[in-house]
Amino acid sequence: MITGPTAAGKTSLSIRLAEELSGEIISADSRQCYRYLDIGTAKPTEKELLRVPHHNISILDLNEKDSVAAFKRRAIGYAEEIESNEKTVIYCGGSTLHLQSIIKPLDEIPKSNPDHVRELGQIADDKGIEYLYNELQIRDPDYAKKMDGFNRQRIIRALDVWRQTGKPFSSFHSNKEIQQPENLMVFVIYHPRQVLHERISVRTDKMIEMGLLDEVRMILDRGYDKSIQALQTVGYREAIAHLNGEIRFDSMVKDIKTSTRRYAKRQITWFRRWPFSHRLNAGELNEDQLLNQVLQKVAANKQNR
């Protein structure tokens, strides 16, 4: 598993690792599974996809709802297929809940109540998702703090569970120390804080140069509603606000960079909960050296089995 905060360089390293290990990559990104979300999710390019087989990329329509549990089911299927062909499974991505679903079993959480979901969805439509987010901050402040902005689906899901049980959604997430599963090594890429912020800034500028606004305009022109789950994502939210005349271009760019830095900080905090992970210090090593470090640790792990 190759992970790290956004803009850390996961895609490039994972592709080179897959080439070395005769592997295939399963994307553990909560948005790369959607069609049309290409530039804003830093989806692998066509050339990169040709170099190594990828799974869980561009498989869902934007109107389809996805979940960690659904991802886990897909990932199991992909992994079984890859291993049946005697290839190495490599997970790559930074969506923490998706990654953790691979590392540990999902907690038993009540199924959604359709009546609650409808009612909460109507409240969001009438009063705005910020209204529900404020309620979530009261009912479950721990979960609200971990959230990447106003994620409509997750806010409604958390409030649905609270209505059913009277317990905060976060209480269903096990606090036990997470153990490394057998036959899985986890590598986390780290950069010095200022270097990571600069990488985020450069990547944001590059996304805009590549046509992020045109991508978002195309999606809206196809008739997709701005409130759908897939578009509640850093980069797309701000671009939609700009195209709707709500914020200026320079404010959009600044907001994307600020939100991305905050998201990266939350990711790093999450990765520190995995004591078994191997730290890759990108601030001290170049990509060739990082790749060699991973290969050496993988080889040593095989010898010790």
Digit-coded pLDDT (tens) for 262-294: 999 999 999 998 999 999 999 999 999 999 999
CA angle 175, 72, 273 (to 5 degrees): 30
**Higher-pLDDT residue of 109, 178:** 109
What residues does 189 pair with on adjacent strands? 280
Which domains can be identified in the chain, with CATH numbers? 2-107+184-304 (3.40.50.300), 114-172 (1.10.20.140)
**pLDDT band per the 50, 70, 90 thresholds, residue 93:** very high
Q: What is the mean pLDDT of residues 130-156?
A: 83
Note the pTM of the prediction, 2 decimals: 0.83
First to last CA, the chain: 18
Selected residue with higher pLDDT from 177 and 60: 60
Confidence of residue 258 (pLDDT cuts 50, 70, 90): very high
Q: Which residue has the higher pLDDT, 173 or 256?
A: 256
pLDDT at 174 over 60: no
Using the predicted structure, report yes or no on whether residue 145 has a pLDDT greater than 90: no
Alpha helices (H) along the chain: 10-21, 46-51, 68-84, 96-103, 114-127, 129-139, 141-146, 152-165, 193-210, 212-221, 236-243, 249-271, 287-304
